[in-house]
Amino acid sequence: MTGIESATGAEPPVTEEAARAQGLTAEELERLRKMLGRDPNHTELGITAALWSEHCSYKSSKAYLKEFPTSGPHVLQGPGENAGVVDVGHGWVAVFKMESHNHPSFIEPYQGAATGVGGILRDIFTMGARPIACLDALRFGEIDAPRMRFLIDGVVRGIGGYGNCVGVPTVGGETGFHRCYNGNILVNAFALGIARRDRIFKARASGTGNPILYAGSRTGRDGIHGATMASESFDAESEAKRPTVQVGDPFTEKVLLEACLEAMRGGAIVAIQDMGAAGLTSSTFEMAGRGGTGMVLDLDRVPLREPGLTPYEMMLSESQERMVVVARRGQEEEVARTFRRWGLEVATIGEVTATGRAELRWRGERVADLPIRPLTEEAPVYRRPAAPPADLAARQAPPAVPQPEGQGGVLGALERLLGTPELGSKDWIWHQYDYSVRTGTVVGPGADAAVLRLKGTAAGLALKSDVNPVYCALDPRTGGAQAVAEAMRNLACVGAEPVGLTDCLNFGNPENPEVAWQFREAVWGMAAACRALAVPVVSGNVSFYNETEGRSIHPTPTVAMVGVIPSLADLPAAHFVAGGDRIVLLGRDRGEHGGSAYLRLLHDIEQGRPPAVDLDAELRLARLLRRLVGRGLLATAHDLAEGGFAVALAEACFGRGMGATVDLQGAGLTGADLFSETQARALVACRPEAAAEVLREAEEAGVPAVEIGAAGGEVLEMRTGGEVLRAPVEALRERWATALPRALGL
């Protein structure tokens, strides 16, 4: 191979050290040399390092992700595209994905979180779908940890600042706090869009001679090495990586969204992809890789924010709000006109070839010439050595469970739990997000699952994200399964049948055998649950290297599940709505406390086996809930999760400030077991005349059910263990509602 010029006179030489600085190992550099039959130049090295970064190549996770079931009757597109696509009926498809923006958000929280939202939205409208909802799963450290208030405030403002402006409602999510995130917070952004079934676009470059268009913001020097940075651990130098964080412009995103959807209606677009991590590099290489084609790019035509960018910088910039479009030859002007109408810059920067190679030209020289498929589809794959942590047995040893005596006993424990930022209300966060724009939000943040209507039909979509990192730390396999099961249970509470899920697998350094083991176990647990519950995984993201100075985060495989509700006519609330409604507890407690909120938040014990996940029981419960909701029998349905029965009951009282009187002798719940976190349980309430039917349905479904009392009044009253405990709902609600602002010192 000849004629590959050094892009600038003073390019750094390509050495093992230079490769390592960009995240490539010596073996990977050798692999590249063999592939090329020569030494790569600086630009080629940078492109390869980005494509083979963990973030872009999934090299440490790919082998395990094959465990996931990815097809099903509703699936139109599984993993491998910008987002997954499932059929939701009435001629509509839902397009959704979740992605992490952990590293940038820890360095620069506002822009990191904002561009996380921007990136996931582009993944959705790139497929031809109009984004209609976002969820955000956030994990912060202890509020008193250094920088943590700044991080929380910045992340929340960043999510709001971006999503609110684009006009996509943020309808839910979750927020957790744990010291394991003190040095590495997690920002997982999910977006869902809808499109007509026959109007989906893919990112497969095809058609030799078709022009490649660049549309959107100009390319600057921001975000260079973002993908590589996201594939490293944090250390004391991380602050110096601030320039690798991109800067978002939600206004440009909004016009880009409209312009793309409008241009797609015209029929002149062959393929389209956003420039996300590794910018122009990953977008062009992935499009050509999927299409089995090649491309020539003329870098002199790339719109630049400032003069003097080198090919290396252009190819690796992560400037936001940019798209690559392959147009039908001769129709590029039609596409360009639409983008210009929306005030966006557009330029033809190259064309599709049949060579299978990417050839970059700049200032009359060929500055890179790389084979595409070997770099994308055939990137290195590693099965990292895996080993359970040495102290696993100690971690899983059954914990001593202190009874809630003293300090107000059960009610005191309940009040303290509700007053933690962990279990307290997250109103302070979600009131900063526009959750009602687009007039589709039927159930917004703060409930079991968010519900959106499908305009023009009686049906709706339900969305929920879940994971319990403490369970995952104690037993990643059970924790992975639990996240899937809980998401399904939350959907079932609004009568939704799951059609697919997306995930965001946040872990430490996969080169650490313990982390590799956690990852493998969690994926196995999730995969087993997905198979048993018949929920395909249609898209997802892996975020490794979430560790600071050698300390890993808890394994955090966030799951976001999407379901369909056939009719929104009789949707139950997550809270009590009418006095006199009979309350029924579904599922049976087994007194499981391993990893419970009660032990962790009140006694600082993080030990034991997490609650067992009985997938058959989950399936029976979910079917029962869907049937009860579908028959219009339920006024209230709320799942039991962290904090167990007592916390769930209190939460059900808060929505309308309505109390409840329950007798727990029949259910056998006393003392600490009121906070046990046994799975496959839910609280439901119904009109008195429907109670017998609810119990009959439960019996038929094989779900244990006990009628425990009635809603009404302003007091929460529990008869348990020979005592009658009474607490005014307003006093508990006040503790719960103010928990987060109080902890933040607001």
Partner 1 sequence: MKCGVVVFPGSNCDHDVYHVWKHVLQQEATFLWHQDETVKDCELVVLPGGFAYGDYLRAGALAALSPVMAAVKRHAAAGGLVLGICNGFQVLLEAGLLPGAMRRNASQRFVCSDVWLRVERDDLPFTRGLRAGQLLRMPVAHAEGNYEDSPQRLDALEAARLVAFRYTSPAGELDPAWNPNGAARAIAGICNPEGNVLGLMPHPERCAEEILGSTDGLAIFASALDSLRTARTPRTTPAARAARPERAGAEADAGADLEAKAQVASR
Question: Which positions lie near partner 1, rule CB under 8 A?
Answer: 157, 160-161, 164-167, 249-252, 254-255, 258, 342-343, 430-439, 441-442, 453, 455, 568
Q: What is the smallest separation between the CB atom of 439 and partner 1, expressed in angstroms?
A: 5
Pick 328 or 438: Cβ nearer partner 1: 438
Q: What is the smallest separation between the CB atom of 430 and partner 1, expressed in angstroms?
A: 8
Beta-bridge mates of residue 92: 89, 196
Beta-bridge mates of residue 249: none
DSSP 320-382: SSEEEEEEPTT-HHHHHHHHHHTT--EEEEEEEESSSEEEEEETTEEEEEEEHHHHTTT----
Pick 331 or 432: Cβ nearer partner 1: 432
Q: Please say if 101 is a catalytic residue.
A: yes
Cβ pair 21, 232 in contact under 8 A? no
Q: Which amino acid is at 91?
A: G
Nearest to 526 by CA among 540, 512, 513: 540
Nearest to 103 by CA among 115, 121, 85: 115
Q: Which of these is catalytic: 42, 55, 225, 638?
A: 55
Residue 132 to residue 126: CA distance in whole angstroms:
14
Structure-token match 């094989």, residue found: 702
Q: Please say if 74 is a catalytic residue.
A: no
Q: What is the smallest separation between the CB atom of 27 and partner 1, expressed in angstroms?
A: 47
Residue 401, token pair as written in the block: 């469970």
Pick 65 or 658: Cβ nearer partner 1: 658
Residue 474, token pair as written in the block: 């104690």
Q: What is the smallest separation between the CB atom of 251 and partner 1, expressed in angstroms?
A: 3
Pick 131 or 424: Cβ nearer partner 1: 131
CB burial string 632-647: b at 16+ within 10 A, e below: ebbbbbbbbbbbbbbb
Q: What is the smallest separation between the CB atom of 143 and partner 1, expressed in angstroms?
A: 18
Residue 738 to residue 415: CA distance in whole angstroms:
12
Q: What is the smallest separation between the CB atom of 190 and partner 1, expressed in angstroms?
A: 18
Cβ pair 199, 87 in contact under 8 A? no
Q: What is the smallest separation between the CB atom of 598 and partner 1, expressed in angstroms?
A: 32
Pick 161 or 508: Cβ nearer partner 1: 161
Q: What is the smallest separation between the CB atom of 138 and partner 1, expressed in angstroms?
A: 17
Pick 250 or 563: Cβ nearer partner 1: 250
Q: What is the smallest separation between the CB atom of 149 and partner 1, expressed in angstroms?
A: 14
Cβ pair 410, 671 in contact under 8 A? yes
Residue 696, token pair as written in the block: 């009959």
Pick 358 or 451: Cβ nearer partner 1: 451
Kindly give the pairing relationship between strand 497-506 and strand 556-565.
antiparallel
Pick 132 or 360: Cβ nearer partner 1: 132
SS3 category, 294: strand
Q: Which amino acid is at 385?
A: P
Residue 29 to residue 16: CA distance in whole angstroms:
7
Nearest to 332 by CA among 261, 273, 378, 269: 269
Pick 443 or 504: Cβ nearer partner 1: 443
Kindly give the pairing relationship between strand 450-453 and strand 441-443.
antiparallel
**Structural element, H or E, at residue 732:** helix 729-737
- Residue 719: phi and psi, rounded to 5, are -95, 115
Q: Which of these is catalytic: 42, 74, 101, 554?
A: 101
Cβ pair 349, 299 in contact under 8 A? yes
SS3 category, 527: helix
Beta-bridge mates of residue 582: 686, 710
CB-count exposure of residue 2 (10 Å: 0-12, 13-18, 19+): exposed
What positions carry a catalytic annotation? Answer: 55, 101
